[in-house]
Amino acid sequence: MYAIIRCGGKQYRAQVGATVDVDRLPQSVGDSVEIDDVLLVADGGEVKVGQPRVQSAKVSATVVDQFRGKKIIVYKYRQRTSYRRKQGHRQHYTRLRIDAITV
């Protein structure tokens, strides 16, 4: 059984026991999270697609870690004007462990 959830404007495939890295959530490590923005639920051959969400479907998860991602470099350059800007960015993430999918 798996579900497609929407969290932070992005879609993720959630399966019981798996971990998912989503954009930072305000919960701390060890807290439980209920995500009710479920777009699709598949159980074997039965698939339920929401319009836009599956009614009464929830995904329960536990916050495992709060961390920052790999650094990316943002570089701006304009030729012949000696304009150069180099900036680094590290995105904040929350790692969720999927505990249950209920319909």
Q: How many domains does the chain have?
A: 1
State residue 12's pLDDT score. 97
State residue 33's pLDDT score. 96
State residue 13's pLDDT score. 96
Start-to-end Cα distance in the chain: 11
- Spatial CB neighbours of 4, under 8 Å, sequence gap ≥ 6: 11, 12, 13, 14, 38, 39, 40
State residue 44's pLDDT score. 86
Instruction: Using pLDDT thresholds of 50, 70 and 90, give the confidence band for residue 36.
Output: very high
The model's pLDDT over 7-19, given as tens digits with 9 standing for 90+, comes to: 999 999 999 999 9
Q: Are 65 and 94 in contact (CB under 8 A)?
A: yes
- Structural domain harbouring 51: 2-102
pTM of the model: 0.85
The model's pLDDT over 40-68, given as tens digits with 9 standing for 90+, comes to: 999 988 999 999 999 989 999 999 999 99
